[in-house]
Amino acid sequence: MNKKLITLFVFLLFQNYFAQDAKFDSLIATGIGHIYNIKFDDADSTFQTLQTEYPKHPAGKFFSAMILWWKITLDKSNESYDETFEDKMEEVVDFCEDILDDDDENVDAIFFKGGALGFRGRLYALRKQWFDAALDGKEALPLVNEAYQIDPTNEDVKLGFGIYNYFAEAIPEKYSFVKAAMIFFPGGDKAKGIEQLEQASEKAKYAGIEATFFLMTLYYQFEEDYNKSFKYAEDLHNRFPDNPIFEKYVGRIYVKKGNYSKAADIFTSINDKCEAKLTGYSLNLKREAIYYVANNHKMKGKITEAIDCFEECETLSKIVDKDADETSGFLINAVLYLGMLYDQVDMRDEAMIKYNEVLEFRKYGNSHKKANKYLNKAYRKLKSRNK
């Protein structure tokens, strides 16, 4: 065989290899996009194709399970998916272990086994099953390290590193009862964790969106840096405009920054999508949206519109809170504000009913103090108030 034929053969061989590799990556990227766009049927179809065409690779099984993870994320109070999710992640772990029995340095099997344990641990933490969460975390972390040692170019592992480093320091700071359990784990480093999550957000092949999501939430909930959180929230919302989690965070951050008008625009959009019954736009989210729209009307002195929206919020809240452990702040504030607004339109008897109703709820901030204050004040002193 002459050199030209050999060269052509090698070219065709590698061209076919890279085409297959590109198709594999494309299927995963497409499926992940469907998950974050809340198009779960499309995602399922894509990952079924991935499993059919690459039956010996764990990615298809892992990402198929991630569809369930996002169903859980959309409504954390709904535990109906938990058992199936746990079973699917256990299936991924078993599948990876079978691969590792034949090749103990198979980086894909190591990586996805670590990922499956990590996400199952996140479910356990969500359900406050701290011991089980700790066991999965303790087993997952060395696997992520091992995958990185075998392939230092893998940027996806930095999601796992970043999550661990940040929260291993942040969680004990915020929840002191966790400190005792963390004595058996390596110490964390919040700054390093943020750096690793930023690297994953920018460079990871599969985990970039999830890393961006983590950055958004940690800056909002732990760092309380709403400008940085907004950067990530706006990016995610622009890329996935019908993802209710991302859209909700944009609205909430506007509220935190005191921009009630912009917040109302976002929450009006959310309410419209709830009315259209888009996937993930739940009754719970509709209640939140109506509350912030009502609050914007109240701030602008649009009393009639504010009353209408707070009344709707109260109705929705009593449905949503029915099976909740405690009365929500949305319901308590909506009832309190209705009392104040009724007073402004000479509906003193109705206002007093609302103030007394607030006193029957649990204390939420200064709710009881305000209700008592407005019950005992003369109506004429309340008439011009809107706080």
Residue 321 CB neighbour total at 10 angstroms: 18
pLDDT of residue 3: 56
pLDDT of residue 50: 96
The shares of helix, strand and coil residues in the chain, as percent rounded to the nearest 5, are 80, 0, 20
Which residues of the chain fall below pLDDT 70?
1-20, 177-184, 378-387
pLDDT of residue 236: 98
For the chain, the domains span 282-387
pLDDT of residue 385: 52
pLDDT of residue 11: 46
pLDDT of residue 178: 65
pLDDT of residue 18: 39
pLDDT of residue 282: 95
| Entry pTM | 0.88
pLDDT of residue 4: 56
Write down how long the chain is.
387
The CATH class, in words, for 282-387 is: mainly alpha
Write the pLDDT tens digit of every residue in 13-58. Answer: 444 433 458 899 999 999 999 999 999 999 999 999 999 999 999 9
Q: Give the residue from 340, 344, 379 showing the smallest Cα distance to 357.
A: 340
Write the pLDDT tens digit of every residue in 118-156. Answer: 999 999 988 988 788 888 888 998 999 999 999 999 999
